[in-house]
């Protein structure tokens, strides 16, 4: 598998605050790579270093085999993307912004510009000045700008910001198609874990400037501690005390349909025994359901809980 982005031992400090510590990962052609982490974890700083906004104190970034520090232009020729939010010239129209950007990349034709404008669904508004655009429209033009020159590495920092549900779905489709059809490596950071679950092939999780896990999405989901069952009970506190007494991890979760609920990490084989013990202890059991571990579970499990939105 062709390595498009290789990050090795990146370090960065701002005013003696060490924000990125020995960050290393690789992104391959044709995959969508998710970059997850709570606020302030160092996601955007890492992206800014990859895109040349911020200079690393140490470490090496290689894009398409070109060192960013030594062969900047060759490396950046392979990159397209959005950092934080799409930054466009507000007094110019979307199409002029795209033309200005396209001028710097050989081979970008007017037809290609029209194609990407259609792809992001902006064909009717691209002639208007950017200052009249909503955030979602700016995101679309930003994405169009990012994929305009068919980069081998597409970097998208929080790309779903400002998009409505339909827009998010379209974006997901565009990203997946871009990765699949053009064999582009897509590097996405986002707080929307559910989207990342559906969008990404692999995910790296960063916390306090350190990569704490890097797995395929399906592998990461299994990082939860075994199977999990939710009980609808008459007395949640008594049930938690009983289960904890048996050496199981149990905790209260949000009530549903007027029922108090708890969740417990256990194996399916022990389910009859536990249910019997709850009942004999005088605790009413109304519902029992098996729950899937999600990326969120894995994320919380790895980071110890952070500012994420499921």
92 binds another protein (CB under 8 A): yes
Pick one of 2, 9, 14, 286: the residue that binds another protein (CB under 8 A).
14
Taking the least distance from each CB to another protein, the nearer of 100 and 237 is: 100
Taking the least distance from each CB to another protein, the nearer of 157 and 214 is: 157
As given in the structure block, the two tokens for residue 284 are: 């009413």
Q: Which residue stretch of 34-42, 92-100, 216-224, 298-306 sits at the interface with another protein (rule: CB under 8 A)? A: 92-100
100 binds another protein (CB under 8 A): yes
Pick one of 27, 36, 88, 264: the residue that binds another protein (CB under 8 A).
88
Q: CB of 86 within 8 A of CB of 145?
A: yes
Total chain residues near another protein (CB under 8 A) = 33
Q: Following CA atoms 45, 49, 55, 56 in sequence, which dihedral angle do they give, to the nearest 10 degrees? A: 80
192 DSSP 8-state letter: B
Pick one of 39, 58, 70, 84: the residue that binds another protein (CB under 8 A).
84
- Distance, in Å, from the CA atom of 66 to the CA atom of 10, rounded to the nearest integer, reads 16
Binding string, 163-202, against another protein, x = CB under 8 A? ----------------------------------------
Q: Which residue stretch of 25-33, 74-82, 167-175, 281-289 sits at the interface with another protein (rule: CB under 8 A)? A: 74-82
What is the tally of helices (H) and strands (E) in the chain? 11, 14
Least gap, CB of 69 to another protein (angstroms): 11
Max distance between CA atoms of the chain, in angstroms, equals: 76
- Distance, in Å, from the CA atom of 4 to the CA atom of 186, rounded to the nearest integer, reads 10
Q: Which residue stretch of 20-28, 93-101, 172-180, 262-270 sits at the interface with another protein (rule: CB under 8 A)? A: 93-101
Binding string, 31-70, against another protein, x = CB under 8 A? -----------------x--xxxxx---------------
Binding string, 115-154, against another protein, x = CB under 8 A? ------------------------------x---------
Q: CB of 123 within 8 A of CB of 101?
A: no
Q: Which residue stretch of 27-35, 98-106, 196-204, 215-223 sits at the interface with another protein (rule: CB under 8 A)? A: 98-106
The whole-angstrom distance between residue 255's C-alpha and the CA centroid of its chain comes to: 29
19 binds another protein (CB under 8 A): no
81 binds another protein (CB under 8 A): yes
Contacts from 217-225 at CB under 8 Å and sequence distance 24+?
217/34, 217/295, 220/295, 220/298, 221/292, 221/293, 221/294, 221/295, 221/297, 221/298, 222/293, 223/293, 223/297, 223/298, 223/301, 223/302, 224/265, 224/293, 224/297, 224/298, 224/301, 225/249, 225/265, 225/301
Q: CB of 224 within 8 A of CB of 211?
A: no
Pick one of 11, 89, 223, 294: the residue that binds another protein (CB under 8 A).
89
Residue 195: burial class (beta carbons within 10 Å; 0-12, 13-18, 19+): buried
What is the contact surface with another protein in residues (CB under 8 A)?
A: 14, 48, 51-55, 72-77, 79-81, 83-85, 87-92, 96-97, 100-101, 103-105, 145
């Amino acid at each position: 598998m062709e390595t498009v982005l290789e990050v090795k031992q990146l370090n960065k400090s701002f005013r003696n605050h060490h924000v990125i510590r020995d960050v290393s990962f690789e992104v391959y052609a044709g995959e969508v790579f998710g970059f997850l982490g709570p606020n302030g974890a160092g996601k955007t700083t890492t992206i800014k270093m990859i895109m040349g906004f911020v200079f690393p104190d140490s470490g090496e970034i290689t894009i398409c085999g070109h060192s960013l520090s030594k062969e900047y232009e060759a490396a950046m020729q392979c990159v397209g993307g959005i950092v934080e939010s799409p930054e466009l010239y507000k007094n110019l129209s979307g199409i002029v912004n795209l033309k200005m950007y396209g001028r710097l990349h050989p081979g970008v034709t007017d037809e290609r510009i029209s194609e990407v404008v259609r792809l992001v669904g902006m064909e009717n508004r691209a002639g208007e000045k950017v200052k009249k655009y909503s955030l979602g429209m700016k995101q679309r033009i930003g994405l169009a700008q990012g994929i305009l020159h068919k980069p081998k590495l597409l970097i998208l920092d929080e790309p779903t910001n400002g998009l409505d549900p339909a827009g998010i779905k379209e974006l997901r489709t565009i990203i997946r198609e871009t990765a699949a059809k053009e064999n582009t490596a897509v590097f996405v950071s986002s707080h929307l874990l559910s989207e990342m679950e559906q969008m990404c092939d692999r995910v790296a999780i960063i916390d306090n400037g350190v990569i704490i896990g890097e797995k395929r999405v399906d592998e990461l989901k299994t990082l939860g501690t075994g199977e999990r069952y939710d009980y609808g009970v008459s007395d949640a506190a008594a049930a938690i005390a009983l289960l904890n007494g048996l050496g199981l991890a149990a905790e209260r979760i949000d009530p549903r349909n007027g029922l108090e609920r708890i969740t417990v990490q256990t194996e399916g084989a022990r389910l009859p025994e536990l249910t019997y013990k709850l009942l004999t202890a005088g605790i009413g059991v109304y519902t029992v359901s098996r729950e899937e571990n999600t990326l969120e579970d894995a994320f919380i499990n790895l980071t110890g809980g952070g500012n994420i939105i499921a």
